[in-house]
Amino acid sequence: MRPPSVFKGGARPVLDSSLKAQVNFEIYFFASAAEKKRFLADPIRYCGKVTDPITYERFRPTAASPKTVYGNRTYFFTSESSRATFLADPVTHKDRRTGTT
């Protein structure tokens, strides 16, 4: 079963890596390259809740949310201190930890 579209009335996404985008740890698939481009132009409008990569708190980002782009992925944060921690060592925080060391 394919996931629903993030766009109201949008076509069902295609599970194809070329039609995939990530915001924080969340993964989104799209029905076309045009839909992906539309999403990436304004992810806050479509993404819903995301997970802060430092605190793991779920929140809905706003235009005022601290953010950065790392590795072709946009990251939003719950606070400026969370963003600063990420920027100090983004490799450690860029992907969700599994709890193993």
**Assigned domain for 4 exists:** no
Phi, psi angles (nearest 5°) of residue 34 = -65, -40
**Assigned domain for 9 exists:** no
Number of structural domains the chain divides into: 1
**Assigned domain for 10 exists:** no
List the domain range (segments joined by +) for residue 62.
Answer: 17-93
Kindly give the confidence (pLDDT) of every residue in the chain, 101 residues in length, as a single tens digit, with 9 standing for 90 and above: 667 788 888 888 988 999 999 999 999 999 999 999 999 999 999 999 999 999 999 999 999 999 999 998 999 999 999 999 999 999 999 988 765 44
> Cβ-count burial of 56 within 10 angstroms (0-12 exposed, 13-18 middle, 19+ buried)?
exposed
Q: Compute the distance between CA of residue 75 and CA of residue 51 in angstroms, rounded to an integer.
A: 9
pTM score, two decimals? 0.86
DSSP state of 66: -
**Assigned domain for 99 exists:** no
Largest CA distance in the chain: 43
* Cβ–Cβ < 8 Å for 44, 26: no
